[in-house]
Structure 1
Amino acid sequence: MTDETDTVREKTVRALYAAYIDGRKDIVAAMLAEDFTFSSPRDDHIDRDAYFDRCWPKPPPFEGMEIEYLGLAEDQAVVRYRAIKRGGGAFRNMETLRFKGDKVAAVEVYFGREA
């Protein structure tokens, strides 16, 4: 993996979280591989359509996401973030993102606790 690839992937990860806060499905859809899957304690390898239906409520539920850790290795990224809820409260989660080329092929979410 080149430093250039890491830089592109880091920018993609940061842009994905920013787009989520802004409710910009159009931006995120362009970042995802056609065979994208999403997993969490509530979802088991759901596809793109189910991901957008289940995980993108309107209005967006968060007013901010602070990336506290972002690590890249080979075709994966690990992210720990603090999500700030609209109306108060916050929590931390960790996610792994797997890339296929310059697209996000899979996201796995590990729920954290209130922060």
Structure 2
Amino acid sequence: MNDPNGTPASVVEAAFRCYRSQDREAALPLYAEDFTFTSPQDDHIGKEAFFRRCFPTADRFSEQRLLHVTPADGELVFVHYEYEPATGGRYRNMEAITVRDGLIREVQVFFGGRIA
């Protein structure tokens, strides 16, 4: 177990903080070795590909704000967030994140649309 005192929601919140601050060294231990990431642009990529392709993208956003971090059960956490790309506009996405034994095992991203 990565953090015996951490809830799945707190692990997810820590991962989002690491992403926004681009603290790769702090983020790596939050993810299981068999981690998979799926989004409309990525299909079940592994940990190495995620940290190479997806993690270093925080500079594309001028803002990202977690709206809801909601535990669904003992492992699954739903995250609803709003972000503003550096190019402008506002968008919302949802993620279903599985945390088991204190480690993020799977992330599924569902893209939302532009909001007013």
What TM-score do you get using the length of structure 2 for normalisation?
A: 0.84
> Runs (4+) of structure 1 moved beyond 6 Å?
none
In the alignment, does 2:11 pair up with 1:12? yes
1:29 corresponding residue in structure 2: 28
Q: Percent identity?
A: 30
Question: 1:60 & 1:29 partners in 2: Cα distance?
Answer: 19
Contact 2:8 2:75 in 1 (8 A): no
Q: Deviations over 1:35-56 (max 9, x none)?
A: 0000011111100111112112
1:19 and 1:62 map into 2 onto residues whose CA distance is 14
Q: Is the 8 A contact 2:66 2:82 kept in 1?
A: yes
TM-score by length of 1: 0.85
Q: Is the contact between residue 68 and residue 81 of structure 2 (CA under 8 Å) also seen in structure 1?
A: yes
The root-mean-square deviation of aligned C-alpha atoms, in Å, is: 1.9
Unaligned runs of 5+ in 2: none
Structure 2 equivalent of residue 43 of structure 1: 42
Structure 1 counterpart of 2:68, which letter?
A: Y
Work out the number of aligned pairs and report it. 111
In structure 1, list runs of 5 or more residues that go unmatched: none
Asked if structure 2 preserves the Cα contact closer than 8 Å seen for 1:70 and 1:80, the reply is yes
